[in-house]
Structure 1
Amino acid sequence: MEHARTGRRRRADLAIETRDITKRYKDFVAVNAVSMHVRRGSIYGFLGPNGAGKSTTMKMLLGLTKPTSGTFEVDGMHFPEDRESILKETGSFIESPSYYANLTGRENLDIIRQILGLPKSSVDEALELVGLTEFGGRLAKKYSLGMKQRLGLAGALLGRPPILILDEPTNGLDPAGIHEIRNLIKSLPALYDCTILISSHMLSEIELIADDIGILNHGRMLYEGSLDSLRQSALSSGFGADNLEELFLAMVERDNDARKQRALL
């Protein structure tokens, strides 16, 4: 596994760092000794097939589920002693965001704002960031799927947290909606100097926005490095550097085959 680091970075250069975090449910290992290094100010694409352990890893980073073993830091803060501080510093979009259907978009965000203790102006700022200002007074149940995804992102962006953890935010969107959300996410680090960890099961989508990527399969990290390094790896493996999706699928298939062989021994 390749790491997108030259030597060891100073910890201050990493917004998120995990060390062998593992999540076990009885005999099932959902996340297996994952070490991740997310550079401050970067977009880190977290890739893997459905069920690879991406959501479980993100939930551990947010303190929503406790690691069975291993340690991690978010923005220099340690889990579990700094759990509340980590939550305050991190905006998140995990799975499908839930709403109060009979409240407006603005009212839904205002509930989150009050819980976080943020000023009222933060709601309008978040709506503007995601392009929902003119729809803030519309009931959430009348939002399109793309608008609901934007509202979920607005909730994550309230107070402009320095770290965003986004779990497949374009899932279920049509091509136009994917394009809109992708462009929005890509613009965020420059807009207010944040770091983004974003998951997907499609490398072709992530490679358009990410600086670094980590590839997960059956809870194990198969690769971590820069996109440029992955392109070099694609060329050396006989794939075209302009079609990284083929390399990604080949890496996953190779790992699956190796797992089957080990199971037969």
Structure 2
Amino acid sequence: MNIIQTNKLTKAYGDFKAVSNLNLHVRSGSVYGFLGPNGAGKSTTMKLFLGLIKPTRGNFLINGRSYPKDRQAILREIGSFIEAPAFYANLSGEENLELIRKILGLPKSAVEEALELVGLTEHRKRLAKKYSLGMKQRLGLAGALIGKPPILILDEPTNGLDPVGIHEIRTLIRNLPKQFDCTVLVSSHLLPEIELMADDVGIINHGRLLFEGSLKALKQLAVQKGYSNQHLEDTFLAMIDEDNQKRGRGR
């Protein structure tokens, strides 16, 4: 069963299509790695799902609900982390999460659970403005995880973390579907990390979906096309390069 599904989803700004006829299928209970170069349309797609921007055409379903009719119901089921997380600098990490908890009407225990999940319990009283970049990323992830929503949309969640932090967050994301019965849509430029955490991947370039499926299916496709399939990064770069060359010839 697909918990997120799009039908020819398109977002255009004048003549530029940030997302073009996107047909995405995210399986319930999976970790879905959403990949693409800078400007490929990943963040735009995630913002469309959250209702932060409106599609030019096409539509999508999230957990059987359609946008825009069920926008509020959709948002209640999603925890999100998009781009750099924004916080009140003069409040502590704990106080920032407490504001989210009150807005969502969650029990008081939700803040403590979220802080523990991302390893910020001992820093919960520190002001957010005194957090390192990595700690801010963790706090953003805690804000997405609070209340254990059934769907998580995470844009570059390991940005700014050191190798130990990256490993911890990757392990956390990998275990989330089993631990909380949720689905995770995650984008990252760290392709070796996606290779270790994702069940399925979608590769997007210039707003168009080039591939969607399991990592095993991607390796099989790489063999058919003569790409290197030793690592996800090799296959990804070859696929993007081929698409860019086709676009160049088509101009």
What is the 5 A alignment of 1:29-108? 29-108=17-96
After superposition, the CA RMSD in angstroms is 1.2
Asked if 1:122 corresponds to 2:122, the answer is no
Please point out which of 135, 138, 141 is paired with 2:123: 135
Q: Which residue of 2 aligns with 1:27?
A: 15
Kept in 2, the 8 Å contact 1:22–1:67? The answer is: yes
Amino acid at match of 1:224: E
Asked if 1:251 corresponds to 2:251, the answer is no
Asked if 1:208 corresponds to 2:222, the answer is no
TM-score where L is the length of structure 2: 0.96
Identity %: 65
Give distance in 2, aligned partners of 1:121 and 1:202: 33
TM-score where L is the length of structure 1: 0.91
Give distance in 2, aligned partners of 1:214 and 1:104: 37
Kept in 2, the 8 Å contact 1:91–1:163? The answer is: yes
Displaced runs of 4 or more, over 6 A: none
Give distance in 2, aligned partners of 1:243 and 1:119: 43
Tell me the secondary structure at the aligned position of residue 59 of structure 2. strand
Q: Which residue of 2 aligns with 1:221?
A: 209
Kept in 1, the 8 Å contact 2:43–2:155? The answer is: yes
Give distance in 2, aligned partners of 1:119 and 1:128: 15
Residue ranges of structure 1 left out of the alignment (5+ in a row): 1-12
Give deviations 1:50-98, integer Å, cap 9, x for gaps: 1000000000011110100001011111100100111110000000001
Give distance in 2, aligned partners of 1:22 and 1:241: 31
Kept in 2, the 8 Å contact 1:55–1:167? The answer is: yes
Give distance in 1, aligned partners of 2:249 and 2:221: 24
Give distance in 1, aligned partners of 2:220 and 2:244: 23
Q: Which residue of 1 aligns with 2:183?
A: 195
Q: Which residue of 2 aligns with 1:156?
A: 144
Q: Which residue of 1 aligns with 2:162?
A: 174
Amino acid at match of 1:107: E
Give distance in 1, aligned partners of 2:228 and 2:13: 39
Tell me the secondary structure at the aligned position of residue 208 of structure 1. helix
Amino acid at match of 1:56: T
